[in-house]
Amino acid sequence: MADPIHPQSLHRRALLGAGLLTLLPRPLRAEAPAASDGLAEVLAPGARVETLYEGGRWCEGPVWVKRLGGLVVSDVRSNRMLLVTESGTRTFREPSANANGNALDGEGRLITCEHRNRRVVREEPDGRLTVLAESFEGQPLNSPNDVVVARDGAVWFTDPTYGIDNPEEGITRSSEQRARFVFRLDPGGRLDAVADGFVQPNGLAFSPDGRVLYVGESSGSQNPGGRSEIRAFDVGDGGRLTRERVFSTVVDGVPDGLRIDAQGRVFAGTGSGARVWRPDGTPLGTIPTPGPCANIAFGGPDGRRLFLCAGPSVLAVNLKVRGAGFS
C-alpha cells in the first residue's frame, strides 16, 4: 500500500513505518498568489492558496466539522476518509466504501455518500452508520455523489453513475435506475426524485434563504457532447422544484462541488480552480488550483476559509466573506 499520508516526506514515511505518528505536520508553504481580478470581492487581502495536504489520490467531499477542529475529506480512490487540520492530517474512516460527498445535518452528524455501497449513510454519535437511502422504486441507487441538508432537515443528494462507471471509484455495474435523479429524503424517511432532467447531476447547494437550489450538470466530463453547467431551481413547499434555468455554463472542465457564501455568491469546483459568481450570475473569476478542483467547502473558526480539493491535494485560502450558515 502506498504511503497513506505524504509520499514526498521520507521523514514522515519513516515515522509511519515505525507506527509512531498518527497526526502529521502539514507542508508549510504557500502556493501561487490567488488571482486578484473580480475575486477581490471575496478574497482576503493578500490571500494565497496554501497546501494543507498532498498525499491523496483523488480528494473530494470536504466538510468542515467544528467539533473535530478540521475538515473531513473523502479520498475517493484510496477508499478512505481523512481529517485534515491546520496542523496535520489523519485517517478518519477506512475503508470508506469509496465515499464521496459529505454534509452535516442540523445535529452535526456526518452524512456521507458511498459509491461502493450505493447508499447515503449517517454517522451516529457512537460511530455506527445508519443507512438513510439505498434504493428507489425497488432498485439500488446508482452511486450517490454529493449531499446537502436543507433547513427543514431534508437530505438532498445526487445519484449519477460515476461510482458504477469507474472501477477506481467503486464497483462497475449497470445502472438499475431509469434516470440519474436528484433525490430528496424528507425528515420522515420518504424518498422522492425531485429532478430527472440531468445526465450526470453532481454538486448541489441551497441559497442562504433556502429558496433556490443549485445543481451541477457534469456530463461533459464523459461525453464531448455532454453539458457543463450549473442549473438553478426555485424550491417550493415540500421541496417541489420549479422554474429550472441555467445559472451559468462552465467552459473550463465541469462543475463538481458547489458551495454558497452568506451573500449568495456561488462557488464551484471546476477544471482549473474554484469559480465564483454573484447571485445574479456575474462571474468574478477563478481561485486557481494545480489541476482540476473537484470540491470546495467553507470552514475555519468563522467560515472565512475556503478549502479546495484538487486531485491529491487539499488546499486553503482566506476569504473576507463567510460561507452561508457560519457566524
Which residues of this protein are in contact with Mg ion, per CB under 5 A?
Answer: 145-146, 202, 256
Is the CB of 47 or the CB of 247 nearer to Mg ion? 247
Burial 283-315 (b: 16+ CB within 10 A, else e): ebbbbbbbebbbbbbbbbeebbbbbbbbbbbbb
CA-to-CA separations, 253 to 198, 218, 224, 256, in angstroms, rounded: 17, 9, 11, 9
Residue 146 or 261: the one with the smaller Cβ distance to Mg ion is 146
Residues 6+ apart with CB under 8 A from 10: none
Closer to Mg ion by CB, 93 or 115: give it. 115
Between 6 and 158, whose beta carbon lies closer to Mg ion?
158
* Pick 100 or 248: Cβ nearer Mg ion: 100
* Residue 54 CB, nearest approach to Mg ion (Å): 20
What does the H/E/C string look like for the chain? CCCCCCCCCHHHHHHHHCCCCCCCCCCCCEEEECCCCHHHHCECCCCEEEEEECCCCCEEEEEEEHHHCEEEEEEHHHCEEEEEECCEEEEEECCCCCEEEEEECCCCCEEEEECCCCEEEEECCCCCEEEEECEECCEECCCCCCEEECCCCCEEEECCCHHHHCCCCCCCCCCCCCCCCEEEECCCCCEEEEECCCCCEEEEEECCCCCEEEEEECHHHCCCCCCCEEEEEEECHHHCEEEEEEEEECCCCCCCCEEEECCCCEEEEECCEEEEECCCCCEEEEEECCCCCCEEEEECCCCCEEEEEECCEEEEEEECCCECCCC
Whole-number minimum distance, CB 129 to Mg ion, in Å? 20
Q: How far is the CB of 146 from Mg ion (least distance, A)?
A: 5
Nearer to Mg ion among residue 54 and residue 146 (C-beta): 146
Alpha-carbon span 10 to 292, nearest angstrom: 27
- Residue 261 CB, nearest approach to Mg ion (Å): 19
Give least dist CB 212 to Mg ion, A: 19
Least distance to Mg ion, CB of residue 269, Å = 8
Q: Which C-beta is closer to Mg ion: that of 143 or that of 248?
A: 143
CB of 236 to Mg ion, least distance (A): 25
- Residue closer to Mg ion by CB (options 117, 202) is 202
Smaller CB separation from Mg ion, 218 or 286: 218
- What's the closest the beta carbon of residue 53 comes to Mg ion, in angstroms? 19
CB of 321 to Mg ion, least distance (A): 23
